[in-house]
Structure 1
Amino acid sequence: MKLLSRIIAGAFVASLALAGTPAFAEIELRISSASPPDSPLVSAFEVIKERMEAAYPDDIKVSIHHSSSLFKQGTELPAMQRGNLEMATPIVYEIEQQLPEYGALGKPYVYRDVDHMLAVFRGEIGDQFRADVEARMGVVILDTGYLGTRTVGLRTVHNVKSPDDLAGIKLRMAPGAAYQNLATALGATPVSMPATEVYLALKTGSIDGQDNPLNIARDWKFNEVTGEFVMTNHLVQPVFFAISGKAWATLSDEQKATLKTAAREAADLQIGMTREDEKDAREQFEAAGIVISTPDLAPFHAKVDAVYAQPGMMDKWLPGLTDRVAATK
């Protein structure tokens, strides 16, 4: 009887232990971004978090890490590739460093407007691009958003009318060769610097300007240390909602479909918010007395074409890709 009692007691304890152990481990999806908390990108991340946690409350947890609090700007993509980060929002220039054949997708003035850019990445070119990124980089692009249209912000007024007026201007650019080429194509001198250092650099005069969409300039409060925004509109910039291939592999087919649907909803929200934020930021800057220059863009187009036509600049690009982008409607 004592032996039987021990067996029954042991079985009871074991059953309690099993009951307290989940049948599968919870999946954590961490999203890293340099964007500040009130930006459209972070609002989009909230959509993804809400949709995934509502659909899979016991299976998936999504955490949002803004303001480079988890990974520094520019380090998220390699972190995803190593499997150290689940989700982030890389841009063309970061991907181009590993897939230089897609350099045309980051060339200034390659997109006519936001709708044209979205048609490119949500069409056949985007399909090819996403497939190559997944196959060769181990990163799955879920959807495409709109980061904004890049302009030049200067700490003092120069009344810029052409690229010649930017000669000698020390223009902060994000790290990476493609960004340095972009500054040169605009007529300026590139200075590589992370976004977190730009405000103080503008304030102290260690740089003369920075290149960002108006909404992002406001998000980072660069307008407080800016005297002139030059509407060069040199790049309608896509941003990609992406997940590490290793994290993607842990999801079921149903979870993958839900995440893609959530990413499209998030991207559409982010695009709409960004468009409105750009308009609001310009109105705010004008009301504050900041000079808004609207130069003739023909000289900037010509300068860009001349710089990118130099030997070595486009040698690795996919033949005909620029023409295919131009033909996209």
Structure 2
Amino acid sequence: MKKLIMTFSLLLVLSIVTACSGGSSSTDGEAKGKDSITLKLAHTGSDSHQYQIGAKEFADLVEQKSEGTMKVEVHGNSTLGNEAEAIEQVMDGTIEMTVVAADSSLANTVPEMNLFGLPYVFEDREHVYSKLDGESGAKLLGLLDDKNMKGLGFWEVGFRHLTNNKKEVNVPSDLKGMKIRVQPAPVWEAHMKALGANATPVSFSELYSALDQGLVDGQENPLASIYSMKFYEVQNYISLTGHNYTPAVVIMSNKAWNGLNEEQQKVVEEAVAEAATYQRDFLTKQDEEIISELQEKGVVFTEPDRAAFKEATIDVKKALENQVPSDLIEEMSAK
């Protein structure tokens, strides 16, 4: 009988030890889970848009650099809202990150970003990158600090070109009376007015439909956007004006940023910078391929008189006198 009791007691002790061991394993798993972080990044582009190209590379780099302890969920196609809504959500900490055009809705929060709505500030990509990746770009990103956001860097949207479904555009007068979709910022209205066109604000996510239904005659965007959003399906003419360069600003909420430790912050910063290099190289090569493919599809390309466009829009900067300091414009345009 005593032997039976001892056996039972031994089994009971073993079961308790096993249970405790199982509890420890669960706790370790929970602790590991707490150390892992998932960041949501929202954007409005399609699955092949410039935003997505940068975001996917960024997500891959974050996971690699953090050895799997950090992940990025990319939510494109405006699934979490348009750019204005995404910015609001980042500001209040609802989502951790977004990437948006500098001179679109972001300019309503940080007026100095309207700088990128000014025509012919930059001559070429090398000129752009020297400014964005230097002290000038750092100053602009720093302006987001007071808006409860952290500016992490600049990816690329690209040099912008005009498209329409009516006729070839070679000089500014060819645009007279056309309804051209613009971003929701005053500088774009001034820009189109200077060219004799009627500025018509339309959300980027609704632009294809607006072009298809004839609500607007044309729009202006980089070749990569025209291609990825399939605007060429409803636009017959592309005029390579190269009138503006639009950077994509990568933003994180201060709440999310401050919730990272120094090592995690370093991972994010390095991944943003490396994704920028990758995306820029990818898009530079893609431009020539897009022109060739769209010409085969019947799209008509024109090389406009850029000097005439530059002259016609020289006074657009007056629309920004109360928003963008003149010395900032001079600093960014100087080579």
Question: TM over 0.5: same fold?
Answer: yes
Structure 2: which 5+ residue stretches go unaligned?
Answer: 1-12
Distance 1:76 1:107, change over 3 A: same
Deviation, 1:11, is 5.9
* 1:4-46 deviation line (CA, Å, top 9, x unaligned): 9999799667646534422535322111111111234323222
What one-letter code is carried by the residue in structure 1 that aligns with 2:80? L
Structure 1: which 5+ residue stretches go unaligned?
Answer: none
* Separation (CA, whole Å) in 1 of partners of 2:114 and 2:206: 27
What one-letter code is carried by the residue in structure 2 that aligns with 1:275? T
Conserved 8 A contact 1:160-1:166: yes
Conserved 8 A contact 2:182-2:220: yes
* Separation (CA, whole Å) in 2 of partners of 1:16 and 1:287: 61
Q: 1:148 aligns with which of 158, 169, 174?
A: 158
Distance 1:233 1:22, change over 3 A: same
Scaled by the length of structure 1, what TM-score is found? 0.88
Q: Which residue of 2 aligns with 1:306?
A: 315
* 1:200-243 deviation line (CA, Å, top 9, x unaligned): 32223221011111221111111111111112211021112222
Q: Which residue of 2 aligns with 1:268?
A: 277
1:81 to 2:91 alignment: yes
* Separation (CA, whole Å) in 2 of partners of 1:10 and 1:291: 74
Deviation, 1:188, is 1.3
Which deviates further from its counterpart, 266-275 or 100-109? Answer: 100-109
Q: 1:171 aligns with which of 169, 172, 180?
A: 180
1:104 to 2:107 alignment: no
Deviation, 1:112, is 1.0
Conserved 8 A contact 2:107-2:185: no
1:48 to 2:58 alignment: yes
Q: Secondary structure at the match of 1:22?
A: helix
Distance 1:326 1:170, change over 3 A: same
Q: Secondary structure at the match of 1:156?
A: coil
Conserved 8 A contact 1:148-1:275: no
Alignment of 1:236-251 (within 5 A): 236-251=245-260
1:323 to 2:333 alignment: no
Distance 1:234 1:7, change over 3 A: same
Q: Secondary structure at the match of 2:143?
A: helix
Conserved 8 A contact 1:102-1:318: no
Conserved 8 A contact 1:187-1:303: no
Q: 2:240 aligns with which of 231, 240, 243?
A: 231
* Separation (CA, whole Å) in 2 of partners of 1:19 and 1:306: 64
Conserved 8 A contact 2:101-2:249: yes
Deviation, 1:168, is 1.1
Scaled by the length of structure 2, what TM-score is found? 0.87
What one-letter code is carried by the residue in structure 1 that aligns with 2:118? K
Q: Secondary structure at the match of 2:308?
A: helix
Q: Which residue of 2 aligns with 1:132?
A: 143
Deviation, 1:160, is 1.9
Distance 1:300 1:249, change over 3 A: same
* Separation (CA, whole Å) in 2 of partners of 1:6 and 1:281: 68
**Percent of pairs with identical residues:** 25
Conserved 8 A contact 1:40-1:273: no
Conserved 8 A contact 2:50-2:224: no
* Separation (CA, whole Å) in 2 of partners of 1:228 and 1:292: 6
Q: Which residue of 1 aligns with 2:106?
A: 95
* 1:139-194 deviation line (CA, Å, top 9, x unaligned): 2222222212111110122x223222211111112333333333323331111112
1:27 to 2:37 alignment: yes
Structure whose CA Rg is larger:
2
Conserved 8 A contact 1:118-1:144: no
Report how many residues are paired.
323
Q: Which residue of 2 aligns with 1:119?
A: 130
1:61 to 2:71 alignment: yes
Q: CA RMSD in A?
A: 2.5
Distance 1:75 1:7, change over 3 A: same
What one-letter code is carried by the residue in structure 2 that aligns with 1:61? K
What one-letter code is carried by the residue in structure 2 that aligns with 1:163? P
